[in-house]
Amino acid sequence: MNEYDAIIIGTGAAGGIVACVLAEAGKHVLLLERGPQLSFAEVGRDHLRNQRLAIYGHNAGPELIGNPRIFVDPQGRSRIVKPHELDYHNNAACVGGGTRVYGAQAWRFHRDDFRMASKYGVPAGSSLADWPISYQTLEPFYERAEWELGAAGDGNSIQHQTPRKRNYPLPPVPPGPQTAALQNAARQLGWVTSPVPLLINTKPYGGRASCIGCKYCVGFACPTDAKSGSQNTVIPRALATGNCELKTSTIVESIDTDARGNVTGVSYLVDSSGATRRETARARIVIVSAGAIESARLLLNSSSSLHPAGLGNKYDQVGRNLQGHLYPRAYGISSARVFNGIGPGVTIATTQFNHDNPGIIGGGMLADDFIKPPIDFWYDSLPPDLPRWGIENKRFMRENYTRVMHVRGPVQDIPNPEGRVTVDNAVRDKWRIPVACLSGTTHTATVEAAEFMRERGEQWLRATGCERIWSTQPGLILSGRQHQAGTCRMGTDPAASVTDEWGRVHGHDNLFVVDGSLHVTNGGFNPVLTIMALAFRSAEYIAQVVL
């Protein structure tokens, strides 16, 4: 049996960083990933089967067959869902996790995102709470993520992050044909804007080439490796030390405990050439970084006589407060072309409305959008009163694909305990492991904020001079998807949280969760840089203090 200092489960935004920090500190690490290592060609450019538009499948996993979940709708009806269905709330299953195919927006949270309950109180039915740490505590680790992975932006222009100690290592992406109009409109409205920070090389950085402006960021892999994810930054660094062993196509079945209830290692299944093999590894500590849904599922599935409800779940907190973001979207037809075929496409944002909106709890960031392939545009972006077929629909696509201006953004989710992950022993995946069951919705306060942000989106486009403006917001649904968070929240009270501020599971010395599951709240921003910053912070603590 193998003995490691640490076993890390998951190679996404957090797991890769933890592996890197521990391996570089000389620790012997086993890094486990349920999916395979995928090349650029294997991810491909299928417009109907990708992480952004997954009508018939995914390009970065998991496979459609053998990986079900259960979704319970607001009326209480449950059904089995496959990974390409929206209600599955998928994130990629491959080396790099979601960072293999993400858009790579690199936002720091707002300082008030860490103190939502203090700022707004706790709305009835919600589990709104403060984080156990502040923005100031996390700030050095945000900076570290920006510099070690490679972020591009203009830090001094981002209103809520000033003053910063250090700017981004790379200049922002250049403006697009829509940027000046949005900037001028914002100025008229008295709104501050900035370039959108991205983990994309605008110049060669970290031994990798710069962005060539292709049109395929969100949902696809980068042809020049200019987009920085775990798979091309921290994981290669971890492997280069010789201290990190990476096993792919390996699914962890359970976290193992001894007769006294202490964590000893993991049992996992290796999927190779049609045969499945069960193996066990032992380690001084185990770190779960499988994403908010799968991390909660694994803790819940690791039950024993001493932990009958699963690990860390003495107070029935594991899996609760599942959250992501509602995305209001606004569109308008510009008199000028707003498309030049040069990606990423997202160029300008405002954080004017992340907080301090009258009558609203929280708020969100608004930005223009990544280039949308025409079929995404057809599904997502047509006016609601346009016929869905016939010559009028075709003419609209022809005349307006390059003229529709888009703004959208993530709205801070107001969490509640009923939005949650449980496990269902009656439904198993292809390895016979009980699957995740998702239920609940976001809180009505989130929908109020989304409606407010939808109106701000329309207001912004109207000020650019766009004609024929339309917009949507999703209403009262469960949010999660690629921004999934919150299911093992950090806190000081073991009865109301799952881990301490370092991600150490309450009641355990050597079991950690490090990923979006820790987020007490999920900010009004793309969450990945916060996941990365927390991972650097926890990993340093583990390397310096625990191991």
Partner 1 sequence: MNSETLRAVVDCLIPPDDFPGAYDAGVCHYLKRLFRTDLASQSGFFRAGIEGIEAEALARFNTLFADLTPEQKISILAAIESGDVKTSWSISPSRFFEMLVNTTAEGFYSDPQQGGNRHAVSWVMTGFENVSDS
Instruction: Output the smallest distance, CB 338 to partner 1, in A.
Output: 11
In the complex with partner 1, which residue's Cβ is closer, 47 or 314? 47
3-state secondary structure of 251: strand
Compute CA 391 distance to the chain's CA centroid, rounded to the nearest angstrom: 39
Task: Quote the DSSP letter at residue 173.
Answer: P
In the complex with partner 1, which residue's Cβ is closer, 84 or 237? 84
Q: Which of 37, 46, 314, 427 binds partner 1 (CB under 8 A)?
A: 46
Q: Which of 187, 203, 394, 468 binds partner 1 (CB under 8 A)?
A: 394
Angstrom distance (rounded) from CA 348 to CA 491: 35
Of the candidates 296, 302, 300, 316, the residue with the CA atom closest to the CA atom of residue 263: 302
Instruction: Output the smallest distance, CB 367 to partner 1, in A.
Output: 21
In the complex with partner 1, which residue's Cβ is closer, 79 or 395? 395
Instruction: Output the smallest distance, CB 53 to partner 1, in A.
Output: 9
Angstrom distance (rounded) from CA 136 to CA 130: 14
Question: Restricting to residues 464-483, which ones interact with partner 1 according to CB under 8 A?
Answer: none
Query: Rounded to 5 degrees, what are φ and ψ at 406?
Result: -120, 140
Angstrom distance (rounded) from CA 107 to CA 146: 10
Angstrom distance (rounded) from CA 241 to CA 177: 45
Stretch that binds partner 1, among 43-51, 217-225, 268-276, 453-461 (CB under 8 A): 43-51
Contact between 434 and 425 under an 8 Å Cβ cutoff? The reply is yes
Compute CA 29 distance to the chain's CA centroid, rounded to the nearest angstrom: 24
- Beta-bridge mates of residue 247: 32
Instruction: Output the smallest distance, CB 343 to partner 1, in A.
Output: 12
- Give CA angle at 42 (38, 43), nearest 5°: 80
Encoded one letter per residue, x for contact with partner 1 by CB under 8 A and - for no contact, window 318-357 reads -------------------x-x-x----------------
Q: Which helix (H) or strand (E) holds 6?
A: strand 2-9
Residue 47 binds partner 1 (CB under 8 A): yes
Q: Which of 25, 80, 342, 397 binds partner 1 (CB under 8 A)?
A: 397
Sequence-separated (6 or more) residues with CB below 8 Å from residue 499:
312, 488, 489, 490, 491, 505, 506, 512, 513, 518
In the complex with partner 1, which residue's Cβ is closer, 397 or 427? 397
User: What are the DSSP E strand ranges found in 334-440?
Assistant: 348-350, 366-367, 404-408, 420-428, 434-439
Encoded one letter per residue, x for contact with partner 1 by CB under 8 A and - for no contact, window 161-200 reads ----------------------------------------
Contact between 123 and 443 under an 8 Å Cβ cutoff? The reply is yes
Residue 260 binds partner 1 (CB under 8 A): no
Q: Which of 86, 240, 375, 495 binds partner 1 (CB under 8 A)?
A: 375
Q: Where are the alpha helices (DSSP H) in 249-339?
A: 292-301
Residue 389 binds partner 1 (CB under 8 A): yes
| Structure tokens that stand for 380 in this block | 């997502």
Instruction: Output the smallest distance, CB 217 to partner 1, in A.
Output: 15
Query: Residue length, the chain?
Result: 547
Residue 79 binds partner 1 (CB under 8 A): no
Encoded one letter per residue, x for contact with partner 1 by CB under 8 A and - for no contact, window 486-515 reads ------------------------------
Instruction: Find the helix packing angle between 528-541 and 135-145, rounded to 10°.
Output: 100
Q: Which of 402, 444, 459, 472 binds partner 1 (CB under 8 A)?
A: 402
In the complex with partner 1, which residue's Cβ is closer, 288 or 404? 404
Residue 306 binds partner 1 (CB under 8 A): no
In the complex with partner 1, which residue's Cβ is closer, 114 or 220? 220
Of the candidates 316, 291, 313, 286, the residue with the CA atom closest to the CA atom of residue 486: 291
Total number of residues binding partner 1 (CB under 8 A)?
28
Q: Which of 25, 48, 180, 427 binds partner 1 (CB under 8 A)?
A: 48
Contact positions toward partner 1, by CB under 8 A?
Answer: 45-48, 55-57, 215, 337, 339, 341, 373-375, 377-379, 388-391, 393-395, 397-398, 401-402
